[in-house]
Amino acid sequence: MENELVDLVMEDTRERMARALEHVKAEFAAVRTGRASSSLIDNLMIDYYGVETALKSLANFSVPEPRLLVVSPFDKGAIAAIEKAIGNADLGLTPSNDGQVIRLAFPALTEERRKAFVKIVKTKAEEGKVALRGVRRHARQELENLEKEEGLSSDEIERLEKVLDKMTQDEVAAVDALLAHKEQELLEV
């Protein structure tokens, strides 16, 4: 019985750490680089006939040029609402439409703006690391509870804590790798 509980705690910890890493990836994707990317706006909420709907549910995206994103709404009647939401999102993008599609031209980033984005990304990476450490702390508490309730040996707890530390180090290293890649992407002219 106790091995099943330990396995459950460890599996739950793996899943939570994976979700934390995915969240960091999503946060990084939302930070604008000099290139056009739909990840910047695909989760933007649009007032679609009175219902808040994610833009990715209302349109297709294409990138015909490195600095141009084309949004093709499924319903042409939603173009005005999509344009309004993009304009209100304060992304530094000005939408233009021809009645069929919305074009978003991504201006080149200034050096100052790039450095500001790097700071934002570093902050998001640190938040991700803090979340990972929180997952580890929660798992340790669960294991300590199992030690008290199920009589796990202190040697087993110590072994499991080393496994938790290794999992945490691996995930933190993954966040650092993502951060390094995003920094390089942001500072690339």
pLDDT band of residue 132 (cuts 50, 70, 90) is very high
Residue 91 DSSP label: S
For residue 113, is pLDDT > 90? no
Domain locations in the chain as residue ranges: 2-30+110-187, 38-105
Inter-residue contact 152 to 3 (CB < 8 Å)? no
User: How much is the pLDDT for 140?
Assistant: 92
User: How much is the pLDDT for 29?
Assistant: 80
pTM of the model: 0.72
For residue 28, is pLDDT > 90? no
User: How much is the pLDDT for 27?
Assistant: 86
Topology alike, domains 2-30+110-187 and 38-105 = no
The CATH code that applies to domain 2-30+110-187 is 1.10.132.20
CATH topology of domain 38-105: Gyrase A; domain 2 (3.30.1360)
pLDDT in tens, 79-111: 888 888 888 877 777 888 888 899 988 877 788
Instruction: Based on DSSP, count helices (H) and strands (E) in the chain, helices before strands.
Output: 4, 6
Average pLDDT, the chain: 87
pLDDT band of residue 168 (cuts 50, 70, 90) is very high
